[in-house]
Amino acid sequence: MKNKNDFPMLDSNVVYFDNAATSFKPNRVIDKISDYYTSYNANSHRGDYDISFRVDDEVDYVRDLVKCFINAKRKEEIIFTKNTTESLNTIVFGYFQNYMNEDDEVILSTAEHASNVLPWFILSVKKKIKLVFVEPKNNKLDINDIIDKMSYKTKVVSLAHITNVMGDKRDIKKICEIAHKKGILVVVDAAQSAPHIKIDVRDMDVDFLAFSAHKMCGPNGVGILYGKYELLKKMVPFAFGGGMNEEYNASKLILTDIPYRFEAGTQDLGSIIGFGEAISFLSEVGMDNIERHVKYLKRYLLRRLDELDYIKVYNRNCEGSTVIINIEGVLSGDLGLYLNTKNICVRSGRHCVKLGNSVDDTVRISLYFYNTYEEIDYLIDVLSDKRGIYDYAN
């Protein structure tokens, strides 16, 4: 779908099917970062000279790009963090820690990534709030099960938009509509959706949303925390230091404006600037095109897997870009390592999801728009060697 020359890693000898873990980076993102370090390496908001002003402008521009990319109302609602994990932790400890009291409840699903479970676990220890889990049925979350769990004690529902293992896509708009009628806030972990589908925070009416640049053609070290401005006004910074204070003395601290009060210390400026380039790149390719292409690839992969009756596919009914498989009698780790001997990169194990009933160790094949039908054919050829796989594993 995209020119092979766009991504230097596509020239390597690996067939990369671990895109849910992290994506390849296009040349133009790498060049943009390199340009920052070679042409205008300076800090932001600190220098009275041109190259520092340029950094300010570039970072500001990226904030605007992200705002448009997710259709936020104002750019102050976009906070740069390190990754989805840091965004979710900031939301939990910066906002909900102050807003939830003993016995208040948060609704989660058992299919959430650890980054959307563990901060809540810690909050439950600190504040004695209750975690209420909904178990997906046949890998899919039933909205009615969430509604059933809602009570006057529920303060927040925190869910992945698309789950990282089974690829269950949740109807966040509907969930927000129902939750808001009951005065419940909604936090969305968009780590697996932002790379694949158009995100519209205003249409969905989400209260907080988090995602990572590195899963969507951007560099490591940058995450986004989106929050409605009115909520951000009530959020307390997670980190304190330079860049987030307007004034302080021994007894008083005045915070800078939103969003800067949530961005203490020097940020990964080169990566933020690189992320802007990734967003421009994705926008040029078109999120609809990305979604469509991955859907066709996945359909093809599933059809080809059908040819191999010893392969169990777990998540045919899910919408995400992941296909979860196992071969009876072969440990998922062994299958992953076998594929590695053929230069195919997949992920095996439990994929950072350790709750719920569907916790088998599995092999995850995760696709992105630069994958090709030929790569899938090669995977199927390799998987067709049943004897070779069993010999390797035993």
Ligand X SMILES: Cc1ncc(COP(=O)(O)O)c(C=O)c1O
- Binding residues for ligand X, rule: CB under 6 A, are 83-85, 113, 115-116, 160, 164, 189, 191-192, 212
Closest separation between CB of residue 211 and ligand X, Å?
8
Cis peptide bond N-terminal to 119, omega within 30: no
Which phi-psi region, left, alpha or beta, contains residue 174 (left: φ > 0; alpha: ψ -120 to 50)? alpha
Q: Can you spell out the DSSP letters for 83-145?
A: SHHHHHHHIIIIIIHHH--TT-EEEEETT--GGGTHHHHHHHHHH--EEEEE--BTTB--HHH
> CA 89 to CA 262: how far, in whole Å?
12
Which residues does 287 contact at the CB level (< 8 Å), separation at least 6? Answer: 196, 197, 198
> CA 394 to CA 384: how far, in whole Å?
17
Q: Is 352 noted as a catalytic residue in this protein?
A: yes
Closest separation between CB of residue 366 and ligand X, Å?
10
Of 55 and 323, nearer to ligand X (C-beta) is 323
Of 85 and 315, nearer to ligand X (C-beta) is 85
Of 167 and 276, nearer to ligand X (C-beta) is 167
Closest separation between CB of residue 239 and ligand X, Å?
16
Which phi-psi region, left, alpha or beta, contains residue 286 (left: φ > 0; alpha: ψ -120 to 50)? left
Closest separation between CB of residue 21 and ligand X, Å?
6
Retrieve residue 116's tokens: 């959307």
| Residue of 68, 217, 345, 352 with catalytic role | 352
Closest separation between CB of residue 191 and ligand X, Å?
3
Retrieve residue 29's tokens: 């993102």
Of 178 and 191, nearer to ligand X (C-beta) is 191
Of 185 and 188, nearer to ligand X (C-beta) is 188
Backbone angles phi, psi at 354, to 5 degrees: -125, 15
Catalytic center residues: 352
